[in-house]
């Protein structure tokens, strides 16, 4: 089993770095923290690195303060574990390709092909957290409340609270096992989905004013400008899940949110029933899942990105 080979490599390594993609979400953070805590339980020298800060609504997670935010890594590790992405470039961290002797890649995105010396890509898993759950179990770690809290957050967020089509019976079985570890799942749900900072609330108010509907309300667009973020003192991570306000509109099949960043426009896609978001994103240089995916566009205007995406989405409408 590839999981056993990965565990053997980790337990034989003296120094381990856990790294994931920029603009981290709940699956990214929860998976990183769960693996980190498991390795620490085994007495391993592990560290975590990200390009961006941990989102505000995820800072309650155990060991979240241990994540190091960096632009570049110049140290050399025995092993780098790349989580929740299949591309080193997506970490946004400079010199990452030179900071390891061995590379392990663990991901669940359908567009990931796997890189490195060992890789485990399982697109049938609802979240990378489901894969880490299996690895932690195989490491002989059971009923650890902190690890369970991180994994539940990972899975709960990437399934949209068990509402997305990637949710399976296995997902619910794992969630039940994590609840049995004694986690406060009500608190987790409140922190990651229900609570909202005033800055995010004010940002949401402005973003909703940008709503554009096309093709009989089957396509919905929202936009987030840098000016909006500045005006509302909102951080980039506070754009997370805003797209769902458009997706949840009656008759909408697919929604997109366009987020202006310093050097690019980040586009996220969410669909309800039949639009293949992963395929659409792949055609624009991105990737993801069947019903949730994204891509980034550089050196083009916001209007051009919208126009090109709208043209592409129209082809798949029924």
End-to-end CA distance of the chain: 42
Q: Are 254 and 212 in contact (CB under 8 A)?
A: no
Q: Order the strands of the 254-260 sheet from edge to edge.
A: 212-214, 219-224, 254-260, 265-271, 292-297, 287-288
- Pairing mode, strands 100-107 and 118-121: parallel
Supply the pLDDT for residue 307. Answer: 97
Residue from 182, 132, 178, 121 nearest 18 by CA: 132
Residue from 164, 240, 166 nearest 199 by CA: 240
Supply the pLDDT for residue 143. Answer: 84
* E strand spans, 138-253: 212-214, 219-224
Residue 37 is classified by DSSP as: H
Residue from 39, 87, 88 nearest 66 by CA: 39
Domains, the chain, in order of start with CATH, read 2-193 (3.90.1640.10), 198-314 (3.10.310.30)
CB-based contacts of 1, cutoff 8 Å, min separation 6: none
Dihedral angle over CA of 59, 64, 70, 73, nearest 10: -160
Supply the pLDDT for residue 234. Answer: 96
Residue from 242, 35, 213 nearest 133 by CA: 35
CB-based contacts of 307, cutoff 8 Å, min separation 6: none
pTM of the model: 0.90
Question: DSSP letters along 100-154, please?
Answer: EEEEEEEE--TT----SSEEEE-TTSSSHHHHHHHHHHHTT----HHHHHHHHHH
Supply the pLDDT for residue 214. Answer: 98
Q: Order the strands of the 46-50 sheet from edge to edge.
A: 67-69, 46-50, 16-20, 77-83, 100-107, 118-121
The SS3 call for residue 233 is: coil
Supply the pLDDT for residue 246. Answer: 98
Supply the pLDDT for residue 40. Answer: 98
- Determine the Cα–Cα distance for residues 145 and 128; give it in Å rounded to an integer: 19
Q: Report the chain's C-alpha Rg in angstroms.
A: 19
Q: Are 37 and 46 in contact (CB under 8 A)?
A: no
What averages of pLDDT result for each successive group of 10 residues across the chain (318 residues)? 95 98 96 98 98 95 98 97 96 96 96 94 96 97 95 96 93 98 97 93 98 98 97 95 96 98 94 96 93 94 96 97
């Amino acid at each position: 089993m590839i999981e056993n080979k990965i565990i053997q490599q980790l337990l034989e390594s003296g120094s381990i770095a856990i790294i994931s993609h920029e603009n981290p979400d709940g699956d990214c953070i929860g998976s990183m923290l769960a693996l980190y805590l498991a390795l620490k339980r085994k007495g391993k020298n592990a560290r975590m690195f990200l390009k961006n800060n941990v989102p505000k609504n995820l800072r309650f997670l155990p060991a979240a303060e241990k994540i190091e935010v960096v632009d570049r890594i110049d140290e050399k590790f025995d092993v780098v574990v790349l989580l929740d992405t299949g591309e080193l470039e997506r970490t946004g961290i400079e010199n990452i390709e030179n900071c390891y002797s061995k590379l392990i890649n663990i991901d669940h995105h359908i567009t990931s092909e796997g890189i490195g010396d060992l890789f485990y890509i399982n697109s049938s898993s609802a979240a990378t957290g489901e894969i880490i759950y299996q690895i932690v179990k195989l490491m002989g770690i059971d009923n650890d409340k902190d690890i369970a809290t991180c994994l539940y957050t990972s899975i709960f967020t990437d399934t949209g609270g068990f509402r997305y089509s990637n949710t399976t019976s296995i997902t619910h079985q794992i969630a039940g096992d994590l609840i049995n570890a004694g986690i406060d799942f009500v608190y987790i749900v409140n922190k990651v989905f229900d609570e909202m900072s005033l800055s995010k609330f004010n940002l949401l108010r402005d973003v909703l004013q940008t709503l554009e509907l096309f093709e009989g309300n089957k396509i919905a667009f929202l936009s987030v400008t840098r000016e909006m973020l500045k005006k509302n003192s909102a951080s980039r991570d506070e754009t997370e899940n805003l797209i769902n306000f458009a997706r949840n509109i009656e008759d909408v099949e697919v929604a997109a949110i366009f987020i202006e960043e310093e050097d690019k426009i980040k586009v996220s896609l969410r669909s309800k029933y039949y639009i293949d978001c992963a395929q659409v994103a792949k055609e624009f240089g991105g990737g993801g899942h069947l019903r949730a995916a994204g891509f980034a566009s550089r050196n083009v205007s916001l209007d051009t990105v919208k126009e090109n995406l709208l043209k592409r989405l129209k082809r798949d409408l029924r």
